[in-house]
Structure formats: C-alpha cells, structure tokens
Amino acid sequence: MTGGAMADVAAHPVLARLKDVLPAIAARAEEIEQARQLPADVAASLIGTGVFKLCVPQSVGGQEAHPLVLMRAIEMASIADGATGWCVMIGATSGTTAGYLAPDVARLIHGPADTVTGGIFAPRGKALRDGDTWRVSGHWPWASGNSHCRWMKAGCVAWQDGKPRMVRDGVPEVLTVYVPRDRIVFDDNWYSTGLCGTGSGDMRIEDVVVPLSHAVSLIRDRPQVDGPLYRFPVFGLLAMGCGAVALGIARGAIEDLRTLAGAKVPTLSRRPLAERAGTQSDLARAEAQVRAARAFLVEAIEAAWAPAARGADIGIEPRMALRLAATHATEAAVRAVDLCYTLAGGTSVYRSSPLQRRFRDVHVVTQHMMVAPPSYELAGRVLAGLPTDASML
C-alpha cells in the first residue's frame, strides 16, 4: 500500500475515536476479565466510536471500510485488552453479512446506530423450511460479545421435506440465520483460561420462527451490495480479524516487557533486565516476528483487495494467502508473547502483571477454526496444486 493510502487508513475517523476511548478500557482490563464480559459502559463507549459499523454497507449507515482499517481497529483494541479486541473483531466482522441481506432487512437489523450483531458460523443448528419461514433450533458455543448484541447469527443446516438440503453430494446447505437476542437463551458458562472478558458462553435456540429473508448462505448467495468489501473473501476477512487480535496482544506484550525490563533488577543481579544480552536478543526476536507476520498479512490483504476493488474475480491463490497469512500471524504472535512472558521471569505469573493475561489470551485465539492448524493443510493443498475445496477460502 502506498504511503498516501496508509495515511488514509490511519486518518479514518473511527480509528481516531477509538484511540480516545482505549486508554480508559486498558485501565479496566482486570475488571473486564473478572466480569467475564464487557461492562455495559465499556461496550457503550466502543459502540459510540462506530467500530462495530466498519463492515456494514454505507447504504444502511455503515462505514463499509477498507479491510486495513478493520485490521488496525482490531489491533488497537487488542493492544489495550485482548478480550476487548476479540469483541471488536466479532462485532465488526459480523456486519459483513449485512451486504447479503435485502436492503429493507439490512436497515431493520443493522441500521440503528447502536445495534451490534454477533454469532457463530459453525452449522450446529437446524433451520427447517416451513412455508415462508425458517424454524430454527440448536446449541452453539462461543457466543462472544452477546451481552451487547441485539441480534445473533446462528449457523444452521437447511432442512426441507424432512431432510437436509444438499448443495452437492455429501455437502448440506449451510445458512447464517439472524435471530433477535431476546429469543435466545444464553448459558452463563464462560469460565476459560483466556479471553475471559468476552462473554463467550453458549447460546440455545428452540423452535424460533424467522422470515426467509433473515437467512443467507455465505457460500451460495451473492452479495446484494456491489462494493469491494463484499467481493473480498468473507472467510478471509474473519481469519484476518483473528490474526489481528493475536498481533495486537503480542504488540501489547512487547510494550509491557519493554516497560518492565527497564525497571526490573532480577534476583542476584545488579543490572536491570534490559541490560542482559539474552533479554535484548529475545526482545528483538519477538519484535521481528510480529513485524514480519504483520507485513505478510497486510500484503495478503492488499493482494485480495486489488481485484475486489476493480470488480475482478479473486483467484484461489490470493484467497489462500489471506488465510495462510492470518494463521501465520496468530502463530507468530504466540511465539512473541511466549518470549516476553518467559523473559519477565517470576513477575509474569502474578495477576498484577498484564503479561500473564496476554499469555493466556493469545493461546485461546489459536483455537479458532479460521486460524487453527488445519488452515495450513488447506493452504498446502493449494500450494501443492492439488484439488481443493475453496468454499472456506
């Protein structure tokens, strides 16, 4: 990206507003963790920045922003607090599906300025066709950020005439179905090792009737908004968001260590931690890993955005690179955080140290399906020239 284009990203008004609220959120990271969800006033401050509208079409009041703006917003929030960054990622990327809805439905769901959506793509539910409606039931874990969402999306297998509808042999049709929050039961069971403040408990839906217009297929349907953001790979965008959370957590860990290293004198030593050669070497390695992984992710975003911006087909190679870069960014961030955590010594094990929280948070990010190890297998099939199911690219 050119210097001018990068300046445009940095100058985006949402990023400016986000920058103003994040110091106060960072100071409440322990409170957020203990609450196991974002406190209502924290969520309200984020909603006020417009960050949750970054992927919503301009035609319904959204930002329809460049993916690099989204990436930067997620990074910034994750530097302040990993759980906050995760909630920003979930709520912001969720707006993408507004581009697949009929305009009146998109305005109904995504139009209000204070509306946030969330949900789970994994098809753990059943949507039974019943005339002009879907009857939705299911149980989904990882309903992140649901406490500040008005609508949740539920991944469902479409059923009709007593059996799953198939898109091809052995592959059922998967729908993303919007359900109002007040029709969902949420389990208070989010007790986790990391990302504790994301409120990612289970959600349950039992025979809720929704209009056909409130369901979309991200694989079969075409976006109803003709813009580059809705031609950009939707699963690549989600993977990028996960990678950005990890990179932000790692950047925060590096800064935490730099602050600590200048002040801490290790036991049986007369010199500050920063003056140890091992500290200097490992800190540099952590910095290089984060910068290099971030550069690859930015490169992959730009390579996929270029054809999207001119309305051209995005080939399988750029799609593969986007998923690969996001997975690699997450893995590199984990290595960087591990280095920082280890360098801090006994200090990092105390709850008073932000490094212990960053250590736990970044390892939880690795468990998301978009950046988990099987992503490497998917990318490897493309690189090896083997037939590949590109539906998740």
Is the distance from CB of 287 to CB of 257 less than 8 angstroms?
A: no
Amino acid (1-letter code) at residue 303: A
Going from N- to C-terminal start, the domains of the chain cover 3-100, 117-216, 231-392
Is the distance from CB of 118 to CB of 88 less than 8 angstroms?
A: no
What is the mean pLDDT of the segment spanning 251-259? 95
User: What are phi and psi for residue 185, nearest 5 degrees?
Assistant: -100, 130
Determine the topology of domain 3-100 in CATH: Butyryl-Coa Dehydrogenase, subunit A; domain 1 (1.10.540)
Write the burial class of residue 165 (CB in 10 Å: 0-12 exposed, 13-18 middle, 19+ buried).
middle
Determine the topology of domain 117-216 in CATH: Butyryl-CoA Dehydrogenase, subunit A; domain 2 (2.40.110)
What is the tens place of the pLDDT at every residue in 11-59? 899 999 999 999 999 999 999 999 999 999 999 999 999 999 999 999 9
* Residue 347 to residue 356: CA distance in whole angstroms: 9
What is the tens place of the pLDDT at every residue in 370-380? 999 999 999 99
194: tokens are: 């990391």
- CATH number of the domain located at residue range(s) 231-392 in this protein: 1.20.140.10
* Confidence category of residue 77, pLDDT binned at 50, 70, 90: very high
319: tokens are: 């799609």
Number of neighbours of residue 304 by Cβ within 10 angstroms: 27
What is the mean pLDDT of the segment spanning 298-315? 96
Pairing of strands 151-160, 117-130: parallel
In sequence order, the 6+-apart residues with CB closer than 8 A to the CB of 8 are 66
In sequence order, the 6+-apart residues with CB closer than 8 A to the CB of 328 are 243, 293, 296, 297
Is the distance from CB of 257 to CB of 283 less than 8 angstroms?
A: yes
* Confidence category of residue 273, pLDDT binned at 50, 70, 90: confident
Is the distance from CB of 75 to CB of 39 less than 8 angstroms?
A: no
Q: What pLDDT score was predicted for residue 264? A: 64
Q: What pLDDT score was predicted for residue 167? A: 84
